Amino acid sequence: QFGSFAGQLGDGAAMYLGEVLGPRGERWEIQLKGAGLTPFSRRADGRKVLRSSIREFLCSEAMFHLGIPTTRAGTCVTSDSKVIRDIFYDGNPKSERCTVVLRIASTFIRFGSFEIFKPTDEYTGRKGPSVNRNDIRIQMLDYVISTFYPEIQEAYSDNSIQRNAAFFKEITKRTARLVAEWQCVGFCHGVLNTDNMSIVGLTIDYGPFGFMDRYDPEHICNGSDNTGRYAYNKQPEICKWNLGKLAEALVPELPLEISELILEEEYDAEFEKHYLQKMRKKLGLIQLELEEDSKLVSELLETMHLTGGDFTNIFYLLSLFSVDLDSSKLEDFLEKLTSQCASVEELKVAFKPQMDPRQLSMMLMLAQSNPQLFALFGTKANINKELERIEQFSKLQQLTAADLLGRNKRHWKEWLEKYRVRLQKEIESVSDADAWNTDHVQVMNSNNPKYILRNYIAQNAIEAAENGDFSEVRNVLKLLENPFQESEGFREVKEDAEEEGATASAAACAQETRSRLPYCSKPPLWASELCVT
Which residues are part of the catalytic machinery? Answer: 195
Q: How many CA atoms lie within 13 A of 443 on its CB side?
A: 17
3-state secondary structure at position 29:
strand
**Residue 81 exposed, middle or buried by CB count within 10 Å (0-12, 13-18, 19+):** exposed
What is d(CA 492, CA 530) in angstroms, rounded to the nearest whole number?
26
List Cβ neighbours of 315 (8 Å cut-off, separation of 6 or more). 282, 448
What is d(CA 507, CA 468) in angstroms, rounded to the nearest whole number?
6
Closest to 14 measured CA to CA, from 109, 130, 149: 109
Length of the chain: 533
List Cβ neighbours of 7 (8 Å cut-off, separation of 6 or more). 124, 126, 127, 128, 129
CA angle 134-137-142, nearest 5°?
Answer: 130
DSSP string, 263-308: HHHHHHHHHHHHHHHHHHHHTT--S---TTHHHHHHHHHHHHHHHT
Closest to 451 measured CA to CA, from 498, 402, 486, 499: 486
Identify the sign of the CA torsion 518, 522, 528, 531: positive
3-state secondary structure at position 14:
strand
Task: Name residue 256's amino acid.
Answer: L
From residue 463, alpha-carbon distances to 101, 506, 510 in Å are 18, 11, 6
3-state secondary structure at position 28:
strand
Identify the sign of the CA torsion 392, 393, 397, 402: positive
List Cβ neighbours of 390 (8 Å cut-off, separation of 6 or more). 353
**Residue 272 exposed, middle or buried by CB count within 10 Å (0-12, 13-18, 19+):** middle
Element at 77 (helix H, strand E)? strand 72-85
DSSP string, 100-149: EEEEEES---BGGGGGGG----TTT----TTTT-HHHHHHHHHHHHHHH-
Pairing relationship of beta strands 27-33 and 48-49 according to DSSP bridges = unpaired
List Cβ neighbours of 248 (8 Å cut-off, separation of 6 or more). 118, 256
Q: How many CA atoms lie within 13 A of 258 on its CB side?
A: 16
What is d(CA 182, CA 180) in angstroms, rounded to the nearest whole number?
5
Task: Name residue 306's amino acid.
Answer: L
